[in-house]
């Protein structure tokens, strides 16, 4: 059994890992646990969620790695490229590329080098979590009934991109912003509805539309020698 620790940006990703990814990876005898990034401590209380600077990311990742140094323990992340702090390793270099996949790979490679531990597999989501559920907008009707027109508009938006991962990171046109513009209720239900929609779509279908996400899953699955009978 492989134990895989996830350090994620917020509640939406935490719920997604617990509800959806854990079941998928369980087929490969990979046991999953997850916690949100630690942002501060006050009066003995730990506050988690949201990213303001890279040093807090590195501190939380390395602390957990020191706490669990067993050979069967591996570590990964799930942070949005959208609004990632500009002190992230090779942030400036990555910004110089016009190719979104190049940008995210430059930063992931720099992140992996900076942590410098073979048990660490970095992942930065292009451009935010909502790209995954835009891999099949039809499944929004699973949570948002009577929104046929909005769902049709989301389908039209996605048809303009080779992958939902390429939907841009402008504050007005990032994936979550596009969804909220058409389905305002999503804003208050992101953490629950996002995972339920992803579960309805299914990990294989998401991976088929999201190559960067698929490459990450391939690295995670490769940790195990167990091949499920599907």
pLDDT in tens, 78-118: 999 988 999 999 999 999 999 999 999 999 999 999 999 99
Domains in the chain, number: 2
Residue 163 lies in a domain: yes
| 30/113 same-domain check | yes
| 145/78 same-domain check | no
pLDDT tens readout for residues 140-179: 998 998 899 999 999 999 999 999 999 987 778 899 999 9
Domain assignment of residue 111, given as a range: 2-128+211-221
Given a cut of 70, whether residue 20 has pLDDT beyond it is yes
pTM beyond 0.75: yes
More confident position, 69 or 227 = 69
| 49/6 same-domain check | yes
| 112/136 same-domain check | no
Given a cut of 90, whether residue 45 has pLDDT beyond it is no
d(CA 120, CA 55): 17
| 9/117 same-domain check | yes
Residue 98 lies in a domain: yes
Q: What is the pLDDT of residue 230?
A: 42
Residue 140 lies in a domain: yes
Residue 229 lies in a domain: no
Q: What is the pLDDT of residue 42?
A: 65
| 141/92 same-domain check | no
């Amino acid at each position: 059994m492989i134990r895989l620790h996830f350090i994620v940006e917020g509640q939406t990703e935490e719920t997604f890992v617990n509800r959806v990814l854990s079941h998928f990876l369980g087929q490969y005898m990979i046991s999953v646990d997850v916690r949100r990034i630690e942002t501060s401590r006050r009066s003995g209380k730990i506050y988690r969620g949201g990213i303001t600077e890279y040093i807090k990311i590195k501190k939380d990742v390395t602390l957990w790695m020191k706490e669990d140094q067993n050979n069967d323990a591996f570590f990964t992340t799930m942070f949005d490229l959208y609004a990632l702090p500009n002190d992230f390793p090779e942030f400036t270099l990555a910004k110089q590329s016009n190719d979104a996949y190049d940008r995210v790979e430059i930063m992931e490679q720099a992140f992996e080098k900076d942590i410098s531990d073979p048990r660490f597999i970095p992942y930065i989501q292009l451009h935010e979590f909502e790209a995954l559920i835009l891999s099949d907008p039809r499944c929004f009707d699973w949570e948002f009934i009577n929104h046929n027109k909005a769902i049709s508009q989301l389908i039209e938006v996605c048809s303009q991109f080779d992958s939902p991962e390429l939907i841009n990171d402008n504050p007005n046109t990032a994936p979550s912003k596009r969804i909220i513009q058409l389905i305002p209720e999503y804003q208050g239900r992101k953490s629950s509805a996002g995972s339920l929609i992803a579960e309805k779509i299914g990990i294989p279908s998401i991976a088929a539309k999201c190559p960067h996400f698929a490459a990450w899953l391939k690295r995670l699955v490769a940790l195990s020698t167990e091949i499920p009978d599907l």
